[in-house]
Structures are given as structure tokens and as C-alpha cells.
């Protein structure tokens, strides 16, 4: 009896998560992004399109505090690169920060 209870418990604890995982869809379709980064001639604009859209929509930039200073954008881009492992080359960071600061931040 004790063995049957143990086996039932193990099946419930270990089997349920695996059963749930088996029911997950193989493909996820995200809705179309309804926003876009503001286009301009700054060198950072194409870099933002190349790097930032890899992980999140362009709407993310609109959720940041308006009028944020260059130090804020610099820290944010470095956080994306280091904490979240965004594949942003070090040499592209200054142009991205410049674009964000001048397009959405304090230097607008």
C-alpha cells in the first residue's frame, strides 16, 4: 500500500509538469507590432532596428520615462547587453545611446 501511494505521488508530482509541457503549442505567433522606432538620419537608427527588435517591440521605448538623460539611456542599453545578454557590439552602443537620447530623451 505504501509503495502504491508513493508511486501515485511521484506520478502526480513528476508526471503533471511533463504532461503540461507536452500540451504546449510548437509554434507561437505574436501579434503584428503596431509601432515603430522614429526614423531619422542618426547612425543609431539602423542599429536600433538591427539590435533592439531582436528581443522586444519598438513600443518598449515608449514606456521609458520621457525626457530621460543620456546617462539613463546608456545604463539601459548596457543593461540590455549585460543583464539580458542582448548581442549588441560594444562599438555600437554610443550610436544607439545617441539615437535614443536625441529621439526619445532629454536631447529631443
User: Is residue 31 in some structural domain?
Assistant: no
User: Is residue 36 in some structural domain?
Assistant: no
Provide the domain limits for residue 91: 44-104
C-alpha closest to that of 52 among 88, 85, 89, 90: 88
Summarised one tens digit per residue, pLDDT across range 5-23 is: 666 655 665 655 555 555 6
Number of domains in the chain: 1
User: Is residue 55 in some structural domain?
Assistant: yes
Summarised one tens digit per residue, pLDDT across range 49-108 is: 999 998 888 999 989 998 999 999 999 999 999 999 999 999 999 999 999 999 999 999
CATH of the domain at 60: 1.10.760.10
Amino acid at each position: 500500500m505504501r509503495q502504491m501511494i508513493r508511486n501515485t505521488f511521484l506520478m502526480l508530482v513528476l508526471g503533471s509538469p511533463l504532461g503540461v509541457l507536452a500540451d504546449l503549442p510548437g509554434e507561437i505567433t505574436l501579434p503584428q507590432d503596431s509601432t515603430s522606432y522614429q526614423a531619422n538620419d542618426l547612425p543609431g537608427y539602423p542599429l536600433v532596428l538591427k539590435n533592439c527588435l531582436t528581443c522586444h517591440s519598438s513600443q518598449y521605448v515608449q514606456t521609458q520615462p520621457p525626457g530621460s538623460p543620456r546617462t539613463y539611456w546608456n545604463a539601459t542599453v548596457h543593461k540590455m547587453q549585460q543583464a539580458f545578454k542582448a548581442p549588441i557590439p560594444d562599438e555600437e552602443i554610443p550610436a544607439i545611446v545617441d539615437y535614443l537620447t536625441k529621439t526619445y530623451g532629454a536631447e529631443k
